[in-house]
Each structure stands twice: as C-alpha cells, then as structure tokens.
Amino acid sequence: MIMHRRRGTAQQMGGGCRRQVLENIAFFADLSVRLPFLENVMHRNRKLRTVVVWAYDYAKKTGLCDRATYKVLDLMAQQHEIIPRPENFVNPYDKERTKKHLEEQERKEQQKRAEEKEKKISKKKKASVKSEL
C-alpha cells in the first residue's frame, strides 16, 4: 500500500483498505449528521477535516456506495460545508435545529401575512377617503 501524503491521494490501495475507507466515511457521515456537535469539532480540527474531505471525495469518485449512503454523505458534506449548502438546507436528523428552522419559517410567514393584511387595510382606508372627497 503506497500513500502519497503530498497530494493526499492513494495511488495503490488494497481492496480491504478501500472497503475500510468507504465504511469509515459512511459511519462518520452517519454519526456526524446525527450528532451536531461534530460540526464544531470539524471546524477546529484541520487534520480531521482534511481526512474527511479526502474520504468523501474518494467515496464519491468510486461509485461503490448505495443511494442511501450517498444521501447521508451529501448531507454530511453540506453540514460541514465541504460542498455548497442549498439556501433551504436543513439536516433532517438534527431535531433541535429542524424545529428552530420550522419555527423561524412560521414566524416569517406570519409576519408576511400581517404586512399584507396591513397593506390591504391601508389601501381600503385610502379608497374610502378618496370616495368621501
């Protein structure tokens, strides 16, 4: 087994090592999306982040994982900002953040409805004042 540390890529890797890399990144991704505190660990630990980014890229390039694994890998990568997050990104496994996100959306919708209602009322008042003149 030869590993080029400069480039961070594996030139030759035995079948067992490939399987271990895939299993480990899948396991880490699953833990990471379910345990949000790992996001802080990833931001503080550059070595860990480097290994995770490499393993994520390796897993994506091999094409050996199933759809469910790729879904969790992508969630993990978005959570740790390895790949860009969509604007409406929500980690479905993080119940606390999901709840806060839903509450925030509901609050914004209520505020928008209140503003629209206020506009309608002010338009009606202006129309009634004009008709009285």
pLDDT tens track of the chain, all 133 residues? 233 334 444 445 567 788 899 999 999 999 999 988 888 899 999 999 999 999 999 999 998 889 999 999 999 999 999 999 998 888 888 777 767 777 888 899 999 998 888 887 777 776 666 666 5
Residues 49 and 98 in one domain: no
If asked whether residues 71 and 127 sit together in one domain, one would say no
Same domain as 75, residue 126: no
| pLDDT value of residue 100 | 78
Same-domain check for residues 77 and 102:
no
Range of the domain at 48: 1-90
Is 115 found in the same domain as 73? no
**Are residues 9 and 58 part of one domain?**
yes
Secondary structure of the chain in HEC code, one letter for each residue: CEEECCCCEEEECCHHHHHHHHHHHHHHHHHHHHCCCHHHHHHHCHHHHHHHHHHHHHHHHHCCCCHHHHHHHHHHHHHCCCCCCCCCCCCCCCHHHHHHHHHHHHHHHHHHHHHHHHHHHHHHHHHHHHHHC
70, 26: one domain: yes
For residues 59 and 98, state if they share a domain.
Answer: no
Q: Which of 42, 57, 49, 43 shows the shortest CA–CA distance to 9?
A: 57
Give the number of domains in the chain: 2
Tens-place pLDDT, residues 56-93:
999 999 988 899 999 999 999 999 999 999 988 888 88
Mean pLDDT computed over every residue of the chain: 82
The answer on 37 and 69 residing in a single domain is: yes
CB of 94 closer than 8 Å to CB of 51: no
